[in-house]
Structure 1
Amino acid sequence: MMGVKQRRVGRLLVRGLVCLGLLGITADQAWSDAAVWPVQMPYEAPPKSEPVPDVSVAPNTKALTPEELQRAEALLPLLEGKQEFWAMGEFVHLGEPVLSVVTKALAMPGPRIRYNAIETLSMIKSPAAVPALLDTAKLGTELPRIREHALRVAVRLDPMEAAPAIEVMAKDANASIRKAAAVEARYVRRKEVIQPLIDLLGDDERFVALSAVQSLWTVTRHETEFHDWDASSKQDRQAWAQEWIEWWNQSKETFEMPEPKSRKRAG
């Protein structure tokens, strides 16, 4: 009932304001003539919510028993299907000791199983999974989306180990793989990624070259002449790449990676 009454009052107020407008009278004038002024009620902050207790179960850190290993092996086929999220959660709970089992899924027939295995390794968050992930990322017979995901997760887990894989993927025949290498290189603070990025500046695909130059700016902070990379032709990009080639030939012996930019705290 209160809601209906409030809506009726609101409609009456709107109609009153419209009538005042038609008469050429502002709301302030109407309040002044009536010798009445609205008063803002003091703001009352909502009550603070009670802290929620942490009821999550910590991942396992102990070596798996033979029975647990056997159970983990039986979970692998479930990484595809209606129970895939449950299976992924079980692997995450088993923790780092289950890596040797989960990495087997990277070579299983189903592409969804392989993709979910990568996602599971991402949630386990162990750098020990990086070598297997990089092997998958470099595998030319693997699906591009799986290779890209494997590289992305490997870089998040241990970026310093990814430089050799980026060098291989930057030469791949698939343009989406070359772009993935160009994008992920900006998170790898090693000199070894600079030459592969420079090599990609003259790429046949403009989106690959644009990703490469953006990563070069991020990694080196080297300032170059302004060029319209978005509207460039391959000939343009090959010409502009010479600026980077000359700079790198002069600087690579003495170049040191700049310190990462610190994020400004809000407030």
Structure 2
Amino acid sequence: MTDCEWFDMTWGSSASSGYCSQSDSEHELEQFYTARTSLRKTKKRKDKDEPVDCRKQELSVAEIQQKVKEYNAQVNSNLFMVLNRDGSYTGFIKVQFKLARPVSLPPSRSTSSSSGWDCTEALQHRTSFYLPRDTVKHLHISSKTRAREVIEALLKKFTVVDNPAKFSLFERSERQNQVYLKKIPDDECPLFLRLCAGPNEKVLSLVLKENETGEVNWDAFSFPELKNFLRILQREEEDHVRQIVRRYASARDKMKEAMKNFSTPG
């Protein structure tokens, strides 16, 4: 049995819609700072709560046994890690999708078979849509499963036909009002990172994002797909406008209320 065969998928999506809001308020900068971060200069020091870089650790079998025991003691659900006799272990990881671009799905088998399309024509008639940004997937993997295998399994589960090389796993952590985002190498083992960090999602969470930073080639999409994207963007724009109107209306009401408290000079 290969490592790829270890995947046991369980649905963890919290959204039922096939669309998502591309809100800029949740975007993290890959320079490891958010908009909330102060850019003033501070002395370089190692904070006592700074997460340890798990990549630099080489754990013995006894240390792994201890960490698995400590990890399971902190888990409030049944998503425990299980230690094997050979020193390997299995467990669950949770991956959050934060994709800014649409993904492509193949045409249905009935449509493609009845139309007699070949592979090239099938790619041209594939369906594209936005995955919800709050989509979450739980994977049951082994300690030998690599990040690239996790990405391939996620795309396969959603029947996404895009090249897996377009995507990367990132480790995300929160510390002192700062959000840190670091790309996980393809040959890294996500379950080992999860074991070292513990089950706390603020210490470490896994995120799937696009690996490319170039512009979207809109000419590659069909006319119905482009119309669908326009409808999505229009709905998001309307929602954003309503949020701004409510925010300014609330601020105006507060200012009027504050003005009433000022006494008129006599």
Shorter-chain TM range is under 0.3
Q: Going by fraction, where is helix more abundant, 1 or 2?
A: 1
Query: Which structure has greater strand proportion?
Result: 2
Q: TM-score, normalised by structure 1?
A: 0.20
TM-score, with normalisation over the residues of structure 2? Answer: 0.20
Name the larger-Rg structure: 1
Higher relative contact order (CA 8 A, sep 6+): 2
